[in-house]
Amino acid sequence: MVFAVLQRIGQMIFVMFGISALVFLIFFATPGSDPAARLAGRNASPETVEAVRKEFGFDRPLPVQYAIMMKRLFITQDLTSFVNRGYKIVPAVASAAPVTLSLVAGAAILWLIGGVFVGVVAALTRDSWIDRGLMALALIGVSMPVYWLGEVMNLVTQSRFHDTWLFSWVPALGYKPLLVDPVGWFKTLIIPWFTLAVLYIGIYGRVLRANLVEAYQEDFIRTARAKGLSPARVMIRHALRTSLIPFVTMFGLDFGVLVGGAALLTEVVFSLNGVGRLTYQALLNLDLPMILGTVMYASFFVVLANALVDVVYVLIDPRVRAD
Amino acid sequence: MTDASNTVLNDPALPTAVAARPASGPWQRSWRILKRDRATLLAAAVLILIILSSLAAPFYARYVSGTDPFRSNLSARITIDGKRTKVMQASTEGLGLGVTPIGPTWSAQYMLGADTQGRDVAARLLYGGRNSLLIAASSTAICLFFAAVVGISAGFFGGVVDKVLSRILDILWAFPVYLLAISLSIVFISQGIVIGPVEITGDSLLLPIFIIGIIYVPYVARPVRGRVLSLKESEFVLAARGLGIPAWRILVYDILPNVSTMLIVFVPLMMGLNIITESSLSFLSIGVQAPDASWGTIIQDGQTLLYTRPAVALAPGIAIVLTVLSLNVLGDSLRDALDPRTKLV
């Protein structure tokens, strides 16, 4: 057990090193272009480019450059933007993180409830029109680009139907901090939560239905039914319990990736100033140090989340624990 | 006695075994399953329609809409119901300053209205479809090729090859796809890329094709590797090895055919995913670069017009949903017909 955990930590450190090396290669060692000019941003003066070259040690060997980058990102945390002079990157990421976390956490609750509901109802009504309808809706949910759905939601709730009783409660786009204005926080986030959750309700509903249908062909379900247990009990205590185990891995990965920046499309459409929107604005300004910072912090977060999921997995699944 | 049995055998009402079961190889059987499903046929029809209309984009721009969809057209005037109208109309909202592009006319010219540059949205939608489909198809080909090479080598050769490839895949797997795509795009689009004598400029379509093709390789390579590993332990491969058949023959005649069905199932699913990824990157302005269009860039163009001229952003989104939905339906039924065990991720 202890050995397994140590092994997992070792693997995590290896992956973190691999990712940081990859990011370093992409940003600093792409063939045929000058990394200093790129980091300095569009229309930077030759002096700025020269300063960047010195600051990041581009005249020194690659391992030294890598060490300088990592030191400035994680130890001294003094990486600054050149497009917005003096704008410190690490504190900017830290202050944007709660917005992203609020968005993803709310959406996650919605998609877990929605996904389990869709999967269970579809599996119970297998091959009926309810099942087919739910699966068709799930497939449409999976096929929609999230940012476009967000725009449609904005069109409906902010413009076309905003003056009707349905959506008159929807506040203007933007984020309100939870501790300052809890009601406003909730109201501004409902529509983004729903938008972000649709895709995952589709995915989770489809996966859960497939798992449940498979589980119902297993011996232990037949035994449970033969014992005379009620259909509800068979579903909840026996079928659902085993079918939810793969969900833990999926959920951990998806949650990590979303907090790590994959929610940026939703943040952009709804003007939520999270880590994703920070990245987006940096994209528009070609502010590469900022993107370097958000990418590195976000992917490290994802690696940590994955490692955590593996530990939880061992705790909940007795079959894995036995090994 | 013999006469009687002959009449029974020759009775036309009795279906003979041969007539009841026409060609029955695995491919024919799969094709029969596919043909029966109405949803699959509908999806295929929708897809063919979208591809054909995208291919017809130059004809549409030339003979129907009659304007160049890649040049701004701010002073154009068109005739609707016998009245001359400006394409960029004086704004009726607020102070009446500024201009709003014309909305959907539902006639040949500006059928879906104009964008902020006065360009015909319907014509751009067709041209955008060409790029979206082209990028999705090419990046799918790249992704499946590399995933097959990596997955099969790792699974078949095992040992050090497998260790190294699997470690690299682990790293890519842990790297969130959008962040990887953003990092690659921003670096290449800001300065282009030069490899030896080949120079690719920042606005080339090759960049999104290459980037989208690469980022999903681990997602396909992993299941391919798993499949090859289980095939290697299967009885027919063990039998072949026992017969002393060389490794390359086993690879080509036993492993590849069994992996190919899996790869075929991945084609529509990956294409759907790639269309969404391409449109998202283009929406973030790091995919297809102006003046080229794709469905994603048109949605981005329509963002500022969302409340006044929603058609600009709605139309390409509907095109994406229809295309990706058809591809997903096709992917699901291909999986049921060819290879029910295949799972993405």
pLDDT in tens, B249-285: 998 888 998 899 889 989 999 999 999 999 999 999 8
CB-CB under 8 Å, A295 with B286: no
- A18 to chain B: nearest residue by CA? B171
All residues of chain B having their beta carbon less than 8 Å from the beta carbon of residue A295 are 179, 182-183
Mean pLDDT over B154-158 rounds to: 89
A55 or A155, higher pLDDT? A155
The more confident residue out of A7 and A261 is: A7
Q: What proportion of chain A, given as a percentage, has pLDDT over 70?
A: 96
Residue in chain B lying closest to A139 (CA): B325
Measured in degrees and rounded to the nearest 5, phi and psi for residue B200 equal: -110, 120
Contact A306 B174 (CB under 8 A): yes
Share of chain B above pLDDT 90, in %: 30
Contact B270, B143 (CB under 8 A): yes
Chosen from B166, B169, B173, B182 to mutate, greatest number of chain A CBs within 10 A: B182
Name residues whose C-beta falls within 8 Å of residue B234's C-beta, 6 or more positions apart in sequence.
none
Q: What's the CA gap between A249 and A310, in Å, rounded?
A: 7
How far apart (Å, rounded) are the C-alpha atoms in residues A93 and A87?
Answer: 11
- Nearest Cα of chain A lies from the Cα of B216 at a distance, in angstroms, of 14
Q: Which residues of B touch A290 (CB under 8 A)?
A: none
Q: Pick the residue with more confidence: A228 or A323?
A: A228
Count of CB pairs separated by less than 8 Å, A with B = 145
Q: How confident is the model at residue B342 (pLDDT cuts 50, 70, 90)?
A: low
Look at residue B213 in the predicted model and tell me its pLDDT: 93
pLDDT at B98 over 70: no
Mutate which: B183, B210, B214, vs A, most A CBs within 10 A: B183
Range of weakest confidence among A39-53, B1-15, B24-38, B56-70: B1-15
- In angstroms, how far is CA B264 from the centroid of its own chain? 13
- Cα–Cα distance, A258 to A323 (Å, whole number): 31
CB pair distance less than 8 Å for A34 and B191: yes
Please name the residue that has the structure tokens 């030191």.
Answer: A71
Q: Which residues of A touch B296 (CB under 8 A)?
A: 145
- Which residues, in sequence order, are bridge partners of residue B114? B120
Contact assignment for B314 to A152 by CB distance below 8 Å:
yes
Short-list B278, B169, B167, CA closest to B224? B169
d(CA B163, CA B173): 15
> H helices within chain B, ranges in order?
2-10, 17-20, 26-36, 38-55, 57-59, 121-157, 159-174, 177-191, 206-215, 217-232, 235-242, 247-250, 256-283, 295-303, 311-338
Q: Considering chain A, what is the average pLDDT of its residues?
A: 85
Q: Does A110 touch chain B (CB under 8 A)?
A: no
Which three-class secondary structure state does DSSP give residue B340?
Answer: coil
User: Measured between beta carbons, which residues in chain A are less than 8 angstroms from residue B320?
Assistant: 143-145, 148
Give the separation between CA A142 and CA B271, rounded to whole angstroms.
Answer: 13
What's the pLDDT at B90? 67
Residues in A 30-49 with any Cβ partner in B closer than 8 A: 30-34, 37-38, 42
What's the pLDDT score for residue A293? 87
Q: Does A299 touch chain B (CB under 8 A)?
A: yes
Subunit contact A261:B175, Cβ cutoff 8 A:
no
Inter-chain CB proximity B175 and A279 less than 8 Å: no
- The pLDDT-based confidence of A318 (bands split at 50, 70, 90) is low
Q: What would the mean pLDDT of B141-149 be, rounded to a whole number?
A: 95
H-type alpha helices, chain A: 2-28, 35-40, 46-55, 62-70, 89-124, 129-143, 146-154, 182-215, 219-226, 231-233, 240-243, 245-257, 264-269, 275-285, 288-316, 318-322
Is the pLDDT higher at B330 or at A6? B330
- Are the Cβ atoms of B313 and A148 closer than 8 angstroms? yes
CA distance A24 to chain B (A): 10
- Nearest of A207, A232, A200 to residue A113 by alpha carbon: A200
What would the mean pLDDT of A132-145 be, rounded to a whole number? 92
SS3 A245: helix
Find the CB nearest B183 among A27, A257, A264: A27
What's the confidence (pLDDT) of residue B60? 83
CB contact under 8 A, A283 and B175: no
Give the residue-averaged pLDDT of B236-249: 90
User: With respect to CATH, is domain A95-322 assigned 1.10.287.70?
Assistant: no
Q: Does A151 touch chain B (CB under 8 A)?
A: yes
Question: Cβ contacts of residue B276 below 8 Å, gap of 6+?
Answer: A143, A145, B320, B324
Look at A145 and B191 and tell me if their CB atoms are within 8 Å: no
* pLDDT score at B188: 82
The predicted pLDDT at position A1 comes to: 64
Lowest mean pLDDT among B23-32, B37-46, B63-72, B80-89: B80-89
Among candidates B175, B320, B332 on the partner chain, residue whose Cβ is nearest the Cβ of A145: B320
State the pLDDT at residue B345: 42
Does B1 score more than 70 pLDDT? no
Q: Cα–Cα distances in Å, from B130 out to A47, B67, B109?
A: 44, 18, 20
pLDDT of res. B121: 84
pLDDT, tens only, A86-123? 788 888 888 888 899 999 999 999 999 999 999 999 99
Residue A59 is encoded by which pair of tokens?
């005249």
B chain contacts of residue A146, beta-carbon cutoff 8 Å = 280
Determine the pLDDT at residue B52: 94
Q: What are the Cα distances from residue B112, in Å, to A120, B66, B99, B109, B118?
A: 42, 14, 17, 9, 12
Q: Does A260 touch chain B (CB under 8 A)?
A: yes
Of A15, A144, A295, the CB nearest to B179: A295
Quote the tokens at residue A155: 């069109």
Each domain of chain A, given as residue ranges in start order, spans 19-76, 95-322
Residue with the bigger pLDDT between A264 and B106: it is: A264
Instruction: Give the model's pLDDT for residue B92.
Output: 61
C-beta atoms surrounding A42 within 10 Å: 11
Question: Dihedral sign, CA of B271, B277, B280, B285?
Answer: negative
Q: Which two tokens stand for residue A74?
A: 């994680």
User: Between chains, do B313 and A151 touch, taking CB under 8 Å as contact?
Assistant: yes
B194 vs A32: CB contact, 8 Å cut-off?
A: yes
Spatial CA neighbour of B209 closest among B135, B132, B117, B133: B135
Residue A20 at interface with chain B, using a CB cutoff of 8 Å: no
Quick check: B103 and B113 in contact, CB under 8 A? yes
* Higher-pLDDT residue of B17, A234: A234
Whether the pLDDT of residue A323 is over 60: the answer is: no
Distance, CA of A187 to CA of A204 (rounded, Å): 26
Place of tokens 């984020």: A175
Q: What residue ranges define each of the domains in chain B, with the CATH number in brackets?
A: 124-338 (1.10.3720.10)
Closest Cβ opposite residue B170 in set A15, A32, A286 = A15
Q: How far apart are CA A281 and CA A298, in angstroms?
A: 16
**A13 interfaces chain B, CB cutoff of 8 Å:** no
State the Cα–Cα distance between residues B262 and B220, nearest whole angstrom: 10
Who wins on pLDDT, A268 or B196?
A268
Indicate yes or no: CB of A155 within 8 angstroms of CB of B174: no
- Ranges A242-251, B142-151, B263-272: which has the least confidence: A242-251
Query: Is A148 in contact with B317 (Cβ distance < 8 A)?
Result: yes
